[in-house]
Amino acid sequence: MLRIEKLVKVYKDVRALDGLSLEVKPGQVYGFLGPNGAGKSTTILSTLGLIFPQEGRIELFGEEVFRDGKFDEGRLVKVKARIGYMPEHATLWDFLTPVQTLDTIADAFKIPKAEKEKRINELLDLVGLKDARNKKVGKFSKGMRQRLLLAQALINDPELLILDEPMSGLDPKGIAEFKDIIREQKKAGKTVFFSSHILAHVEEVCDTVGVIVKGKLRLEDSIENIKKEFLKKAGYTILIETNKPVDWRSAELSVTSLGENKYRVVASRDVREEIHDYVASQGAKVLTMQVKEPSLEEIFLKLVE
Ligand SMILES: Nc1ncnc2c1ncn2[C@@H]1O[C@H](COP(=O)(O)OP(=O)(O)OP(=O)(O)O)[C@@H](O)[C@H]1O
């Protein structure tokens, strides 16, 4: 759906993208996570041909739209009709109402009149702006503006939704509703690529996460695999009982005698198999085993450190 290869974007003296590669597959909800200034907006703007990278390759819907420092404008225009985009900093027309705003955008997409009204009503309902449909946008809160921007992005019923920090400025209820809309898009077979610097925004709703740090992709995997990988590095505390002295020596492991034939083993890696073998060979007994999984927050912080 979207493939980016070795993208480089240099702004004067800032190397915002430093050989970034990533792939968004059809039907995925891909969370593009990274701290402020990591290069998320630069990636999105490059993908849409709104800024010019210097090197690399971009493919959308299997069509090569950028290569060797040049966009193929014809192809870009064609594929962009199938994309919905919600920018991070967008200007809305303050003197228009949501209905008038969406009407104008629908005209830009040449949506037939008969379809237009129905589509606008559905979208206002979807993003929760039905009651504010005829109010001037100038009076809207940040959250209401975000909702209208999302409705704009959906007007052409896009196959691929690209959202730049869509949940910033939303309250917890708004975030939950946004996540629901994203889930509904996925159910309808759409692909969603959205950026965030807040892990909690991507955690429940994405099936794949890409972490960008200083213009490079540090990690791209499913949340499930990321957790699995880091579970290997989880901390284990095991209490064993044995009438033989424990002389178990291994790296990243410490054994403390607690008296009364009890020993505490603390390991900073997955030692479950070793423990099993040890206990079986020594006729010992495992009394308790505690695993301290790192939270995704800790994993993310470690990556961006
Ligand atoms: N027009 C520009 N001119 C010069 N430098 C820029 C420009 N736009 C972005 N940068 C720099 O490029 C780097 C990446 O910025 P970008 O906006 O892509 O990051 P981001 O991950 O989207 O961050 P944020 O979440 O803060 O928007 C930053 O160091 C930023 O200061």
Domain ranges within the chain, ordered by starting residue? 2-222, 232-304
Atom 7 of ligand 1 has which residue's CA nearest to it?
Answer: 11
Atom 16 of ligand 1 has which residue's CA nearest to it?
Answer: 39
- The whole-number pLDDT of residue 143 equals 84
CATH topology of domain 232-304: Alpha-Beta Plaits (3.30.70)
- The whole-number pLDDT of residue 294 equals 64
Q: According to the per-residue pLDDT averaged within each range, which of 31-45, 165-179, 191-205, 289-303 is highest?
A: 31-45
- In this prediction the ipTM stands at 0.95
Q: Choose the weakest-confidence range: 63-67, 82-86, 138-142.
A: 138-142
Residue 27 pLDDT greater than 90, yes or no:
yes
How buried is residue 68: exposed, middle or buried, by Cβ count under 10 Å (0-12/13-18/19+)? Answer: exposed
Q: Choose the weakest-confidence range: 53-62, 177-186, 284-293.
A: 284-293
CB 101 within 8 A of CB 92: yes
Q: Please indicate whether residue 109, judged by its CB atom, sits closer than 6 Å to ligand 1.
A: no
Residue 231 pLDDT greater than 70, yes or no:
no
- The whole-number pLDDT of residue 238 equals 87
Nearest CA to 31 among 206, 220, 222, 169? Answer: 206
Report the distance separating Cα 178 and Cα 230, nearest Å. Answer: 29
- The whole-number pLDDT of residue 233 equals 65
Token pair 């039907």 in the structure block, residue: 27
Average confidence (pLDDT) over 112-120: 91
- The whole-number pLDDT of residue 268 equals 77
Average confidence (pLDDT) over 62-91: 92
Distance 15 CA to ligand 1 centre (A): 10
Atom 24 of ligand 1 has which residue's CA nearest to it?
Answer: 36
Distance 229 CA to ligand 1 centre (A): 31
- Buried b / exposed e over 262-295, threshold 16 CB at 10 Å, is ebbbebeeebeeebeebbeebebebeeeeeeebe
CATH topology of domain 2-222: Rossmann fold (3.40.50)
- The whole-number pLDDT of residue 293 equals 66
Nearest CA to 42 among 80, 65, 10? Answer: 10
Please report which confidence band the pLDDT of residue 297 belongs to, taking 50, 70 and 90 as the band edges.
low
Residue 267 pLDDT greater than 90, yes or no:
no
Atom 26 of ligand 1 has which residue's CA nearest to it?
Answer: 36
Residue 246 pLDDT greater than 90, yes or no:
no
Residue 79 pLDDT greater than 70, yes or no:
yes
Residue 85 pLDDT greater than 70, yes or no:
yes
CA distances from 289 to 151, 177, 263, 297, 302 (A): 50, 39, 12, 24, 26
Distance 256 CA to ligand 1 centre (A): 51
Instruction: Looking at 96-141, list the stretches that DSSP marks H as alpha helix, in order from N- to C-terminal side.
Output: 98-108, 113-126
The whole-chain average pLDDT of the chain stands at 88
